[in-house]
Chain A
Amino acid sequence: MFGLKSDWSLSANDRYFTLDDYARSLPRWCTGCGDLGILAAIHRVCRENQILPENMVSVSGIGCSSRLPHYMNGYGFHGLHGRALPVACGVKSRRPDLDIWVATGDGDCFSIGAAHWVHALRYNMDITVLVFDNGIYGLTKKQTSPTTPEEYLTNTHPTGALLPPLNPLTISLGVSNISFVAQMVDWNPPLLYETIKAAHDHKGTSFVRIIQRCPVYMEALNLEMMDDPANLLLLRHEDGIPVPEGVDRLFENQLEHDPSNLPAALGIAADKSKMPVGLLYRNDEALCYDELSSVGLDMTYEEKLAGVNAALDKFSV
């Protein structure tokens, strides 16, 4: 089998995978849910990169978004609320050959899993982390999340969220050894595809916050953002997310931003007046913890046995 890739190059693998080869069961998200578009973009990236399905592991926590592994071919790990990242890092730690996707929600990642979020970014293992940020707890039916905008009414704060929302971008950019921070909206499929592709192709932990529509609980929030593109700021750069032709016309605000410039990225992230979309920061030189955690993988049984005996010798009497 063979197939054509989007740049017209020919994939001559003996197995060629179509979009269907990356799908599993039919998604059970609500009609109009932004998660559907994210899933489609991931499938396209998988096909474009012709990832071996059996080498793919999709890890998630709990939430609507964390259903993703059930819709991905290959191996999936739909674990505990907030704990996708430690599991994903553990998978990678002694199996650097596997291709790891993490799907997590704003509650899953920024609230219950916040400690793991910060530390996983610092470990910078070669995994792709997609946060489906709908600004609400979807699965448990409309409780305030860390990114719920102030004064949005929720079931836990019926008179409106009490605190200003947490800013996932400034926090991520503040983590030492951070290597990839991007933000995108779910309703721009070409850019979403390019963003996820760039994230996946990056070596290290790529953190992508995807602003995701939840028409069931956060319709007002989505409409506000979708209706007025002036709220968005497109980040452009030759080292950034490629902007497909024509797509740029949708953005009245655009900024040339060099993703190697961390202070500039922090400034953009902290500016509340506009929602940046594109690549805020990338560092290809950051240390990858998986290179440390996978030491000794090539040891033979004989070498290990000699190692055990050498260790025992130190205690022998």
Chain B
Amino acid sequence: MNDQLISVQEVSSAAEDLQARDTAEPIPEHIVEIVSDSGEGAQKCGQTFGIVSARMGNGVWTVEIIPAEIQPPARTPDGASGIRIRVGEALMTNMGNEANLVVAFNEQVLRSRLASSAYKAGTVVLLDNMWASDPSEDIRTQYSEALEEFAEFGLEVYELPIQTECLKVVPDPRKGKNMFVLGMLSHIYSRDTEQALNEIANIFSRKSEKVISTNQDLFRAGYVFAQKNVPYHYEISPSELADKSMVVMSGNQAVGLGVMASGMEMVSMYPITPATSASHYLADDFHLTGGFVHQAEDEIAAIGFAIGASYAGKTACTITSGPGIALKTEMISLASMAEIPLVIVNVQRGGPSTGLPTKVEQGDLLTTMFGAPGDSPKVIIAAATISECFHFVTLARRLAESFRIPVIVLTDANLATGVQPFERPEVTTDWFAAPVDQSDWDENVPAYDWDEETGLSARAIPGMRNGGYVLTGLAHNRHGKIAYDTTSNQEGSDMRSLKMATLAGTLNRPEIHGDADGDLLIVGWGSTLGTLEEAVDVARENGHKVSSIHLRFLSPMEPGLKDIFSRFKKVMTIEINYSDAANAPRISEENRRYAQLALLLRAHTLVDVDCWSVVSGHPLQPGNISRVIMDRVGEIGGDK
């Protein structure tokens, strides 16, 4: 901390009431947003706030607020860029409902957040008042009109001279205001200033000393400013997590670290939002484990390259998003047919087609499962948390190699950009892929020596003497020979499918969140875990018999579903993908198109599984889901 500034402040004539206000009010959690035009650094500010909070032992969940365009016009609702940080005493598992406190760099960006129901009456807004005195009359009018709108809604707006204060430290506050705001928030939430100053030094570590010290000065100025002028001062005590060794990162960083911890040596990719940042991370750190990021000429080449490496004994990973998965389909089918281990991470975004590149959707479940010619069994697992983004990559590599099969890890834009602390994994050398086996192959063992009980077979790797075989995507017999006869394709298909049953036999039943029987069972998958469980908890607190399960394995399915379902009056999935609402015009039982997991579960269990889903591009919020749950509970006349 800069002693000078603080001590100046201390001896300054701070009013008595400010002193009183300085006793921090304990709160269990808060949702904070920072919104600005894009390029003003709100996200960096929020990420740093999140990281410092995590370091202090708080639970944290962050969600980026991403403008619709790359360079949106300044001061427009569509240009709203920023971040939401939910910080609390306990582990935070989702973005929560309406924000408690917002810092806004202009009033227009607030309007888009209001329109997305991000705020409630009573949400505190700390707004830069520079626009009130803008030379343009239009802007002054827009500003005062917006303020009226906000007052009507019930926002508690504090107009603060943020720009003016920053100008005292830097000539152009466009770059730097974010650190001033970080200082403000650090006082408001009693954040550890030393941690924050270190983090600032980290952020600008590639820049000059001068840049670091200026940003630290801005931070201090913001801190002191809030101390003097903002009538809020809170404290959020550390959770039980504080005693554990934790790491904090985004889901895409977790995927990248997962690749390194799995011992995989190569990621082959083609840039596509929101998957790319995983490779950005790897491009920085992969050398620490001797790995290489290959940026291919397109997604087909990317997966082809990874398949080549895998075939040669170095199981590789390709990371992509929806449209990239579409292009990789033929190769995934080849990996399935020719039994090549391979890890494919699909960071799902909004679809169809190019869709909503930066937004979240769980729209690729069916395409990853069925998007292939013929029957192409593969393993599909979906990470529900950022910690799982990390751990599932190693799981995927192991499954891929043991079952000689492509494994798809589904994550999504919400996990990709969200930041959350989790327990630091204790990686050991056992996590790493075994060295490439170059021992002699027994020439009496065929290339696909399918075990009739399991479908499994050992794999010859180039370099193994006597192991030579020709891998082909054509129908082949157990010797790997092309075979168009009447039995070979059936046998191969049976064996590849049998592996799925073998794997399914090793899985546990899903854990039930809540009671094992009741009125309504919610089934979810992927990044919605925290939201769904929070909404279920609210319903249960209100006396409703609601429980939930959250599937990690989607192919093969986790066992026991039919039995679990049979103990509830109604079963429904809640998903972020498209489905027809049951009561929509023209929609009947015969033509209703179900959400993706619901469709699978209906086929899998023959239970009349209902669904609720949206494709708004937004993560689910517990408040909305509570309403969905209450509606369904009402429909089935559930007991209270």
Q: Which residues of A contact B (CB under 8 A)?
A: 24-25, 53-55, 57-59, 69-70, 73-80, 83, 85-95, 97-98, 115-116, 118-119, 292-299, 301-305, 307-312, 314-317
User: SS class of chain A's interface: helix, strand, loop or mixed?
Assistant: helix
Q: How far is the CA of A292 from the CA of B301 in the complex (A)?
A: 18
Given pairs A93-B305, A95-B436, A315-B247, 18 additional interface contacts (CB within 8 A): A24-B468, A24-B470, A54-B466, A54-B468, A79-B304, A80-B334, A86-B305, A94-B266, A95-B312, A116-B297, A118-B297, A304-B260, A304-B289, A304-B290, A307-B287, A308-B260, A316-B424, A317-B57
Q: How far is the CA of A300 from the CA of B557 in the complex (A)?
A: 37
Q: Which of A58, A93, A301 contacts B309 (CB 8 A)?
A: A93
Contact, CB under 8 Å: A315 / B248:
yes
Nearest-neighbour CB distance to chain B for A261, whole angstroms, equals 29
Contact, CB under 8 Å: B289 / A308:
yes
Q: Is B316 an interface residue (CB 8 A)?
A: yes
Q: Which residues of B contact A (CB under 8 A)?
A: 51, 54-55, 57, 245-249, 253, 257, 260-261, 263, 265-266, 268, 285, 287-292, 294, 296-298, 300-314, 316, 330-331, 334, 421, 424-425, 427-429, 432, 436, 460, 462-474, 481-482
User: SS class of chain B's interface: helix, strand, loop or mixed?
Assistant: mixed
Contact, CB under 8 Å: A305 / B427:
yes
Residues from chain A with a CB closer than 8 A to the CB of B247 are 312, 315-317
Contact, CB under 8 Å: B470 / A115:
no
23 A-B contacts (beta carbon < 8 Å): A54-B463, A69-B470, A74-B462, A75-B469, A77-B470, A78-B471, A79-B471, A83-B300, A85-B301, A86-B305, A87-B304, A90-B305, A90-B316, A93-B305, A298-B290, A301-B429, A307-B287, A308-B427, A311-B260, A311-B288, A312-B257, A312-B425, A317-B246
Contact, CB under 8 Å: A87 / B307:
yes
Using A69-B470, A91-B309 as known contacts, say yes or no to A83 and B304 having CB atoms under 8 A apart. yes
Contact, CB under 8 Å: B288 / A307:
yes
Q: Which of B245, B266, B331, B467 contacts A83 (CB 8 A)?
A: B331
Residue of B nearest to A302 (CB): B429
Q: How far is the CA of A317 from the CA of B471 in the complex (A)?
A: 47
Nearest-neighbour CB distance to chain B for A74, whole angstroms, equals 5
Contact, CB under 8 Å: B468 / A78:
no
Contact, CB under 8 Å: B294 / A293:
yes
Contact, CB under 8 Å: A54 / B462:
yes
Using A77-B311, A90-B316 as known contacts, say yes or no to A304 and B432 having CB atoms under 8 A apart. yes
Residues from chain A with a CB closer than 8 A to the CB of B313 are 95
Contact, CB under 8 Å: A312 / B289:
no
Nearest-neighbour CB distance to chain A for B104, whole angstroms, equals 28
Nearest-neighbour CB distance to chain A for B605, whole angstroms, equals 36
Q: Which of A79, A94, A307 contacts B312 (CB 8 A)?
A: A94
Nearest-neighbour CB distance to chain B for A48, whole angstroms, equals 20
Residues from chain A with a CB closer than 8 A to the CB of B302 are 86
Q: Which of A76, A98, A305 contacts B429 (CB 8 A)?
A: A305
Q: Which of A54, A69, A118, A292 contacts B467 (CB 8 A)?
A: A54
Q: How far is the CA of A64 from the CA of B424 in the complex (A)?
A: 54
Q: How far is the CA of A317 from the CA of B244 in the complex (A)?
A: 9
Residues from chain A with a CB closer than 8 A to the CB of B297 are 115-116, 118-119
Residues from chain A with a CB closer than 8 A to the CB of B330 are 80
Nearest-neighbour CB distance to chain B for A106, whole angstroms, equals 19
Residue of B nearest to A90 (CB): B308
Contact, CB under 8 Å: A308 / B266:
no
Contact, CB under 8 Å: B296 / A86:
yes
Contact, CB under 8 Å: B245 / A89:
no
Residue of B nearest to A297 (CB): B290
Contact, CB under 8 Å: B292 / A293:
yes
Residue of A nearest to B54 (CB): A317
Q: How far is the CA of A116 from the CA of B304 in the complex (A)?
A: 10
Contact, CB under 8 Å: A307 / B289:
yes
Q: How far is the CA of A53 from the CA of B467 in the complex (A)?
A: 10
Contact, CB under 8 Å: A308 / B288:
yes
Q: Which of A59, A74, A317 contacts B55 (CB 8 A)?
A: A317
Residues from chain A with a CB closer than 8 A to the CB of B424 are 312, 316
Q: Which of B263, B296, B312, B474 contacts A304 (CB 8 A)?
A: B263
Residues from chain A with a CB closer than 8 A to the CB of B464 are 54
Residues from chain B with a CB closer than 8 A to the CB of A90 are 268, 294, 304-312, 316
Residues from chain A with a CB closer than 8 A to the CB of B263 are 304
Q: Which of A70, A91, A303 contacts B290 (CB 8 A)?
A: A303
Closest 8 CB pairs of A and B: A296-B290, A90-B308, A86-B304, A307-B288, A76-B470, A90-B305, A299-B290, A86-B301
Using A54-B468, A297-B290 as known contacts, say yes or no to A94 and B314 having CB atoms under 8 A apart. yes
Q: How far is the CA of A83 from the CA of B303 in the complex (A)?
A: 10
